[in-house]
Chains A and B, each alone.
Chain A
Amino acid sequence: GQQLNQSPQSMFIQEGEDVSMNCTSSSIFNTWLWYKQEPGEGPVLLIALYKAGELTSNGRLTAQFGITRKDSFLNISASIPSDVGIYFCAGRVSGGSNYKLTFGKGTLLTVNP
């Protein structure tokens, strides 16, 4: 099956700092999705990417679909305490009948006020 590596596993930052995390795949994906999950809750979709090179923003969040189609990046600018949570990437392979999403193991973000 597809392998999807997400890094870093965890981050401890000060309020106001910028954050970067990324996911890399062993396969070519045609879709990248980024989710945020707070403790005890379901993941919430932040950004969806469908084209190589696509750069999409959602408030202070910006995500990019890598040109190789094997990676994606999420940046958070000027972090605030409510950014705390686990951020997951998810990808879907190109073509064929495999439409299952593959999920990264998540990046745990802690923001110190």
Chain B
Amino acid sequence: DGGITQSPKYLFRKEGQNVTLSCEQNLNHDAMYWYRQDPGQGLRLIYYSQIVNDFQKGDIAEGYSVSREKKESFPLTVTSAQKNPTAFYLCASSTSGTTGELFFGEGSRLTVL
């Protein structure tokens, strides 16, 4: 079945460590996104990518990094520079960056100990 797969579902990290969240899609979508969700808040855009080997910062990119080496993959690294990394992270994709509906993965919950 087509969809978006995020892993791991749950992740614990010590302060000062980098961690990478995986996002893979087999929908043949060009655009991919990473959002952060905190309780009581709307989704906030971290990074997005419209095509392979290109990506742009979203509204809260500080302390995060991404890569887009393959169309189907868009991993997110939460670096030690991110001051408040504990959150629910959502990956999404769409047919293009200018139109179309966004489809989400099941999310990854990161907890910093």
Contact = CB atoms under 8 A, between A and B. Distances in A.
Q: Do A and B assemble together?
A: yes
Interface stretch (B38-46, B65-73, B74-82): B38-46
Interface on chain B toward A: helix, strand, loop, or mixed SS?
A: loop
B104 A44 contact: yes
Interface stretch (A14-22, A55-63, A71-79, A99-107): A99-107
A88 B92 CA distance: 15
Given A45-B101, A48-B101, A103 B107 contact: no
A90 B99 contact: no
Contact of B90 (A43, A90, A104): A43
B90 A42 contact: yes
A31 interface: yes
B66 to A, nearest CB: 15
A102 B44 CA distance: 8
A88 B106 contact: no
11 contacts: A33-B101, A40-B107, A42-B90, A42-B104, A42-B106, A45-B102, A45-B103, A100-B45, A100-B48, A103-B42, A105-B42
Interface of A: 1, 4, 31, 33, 35, 40-45, 48, 88, 90, 99-106
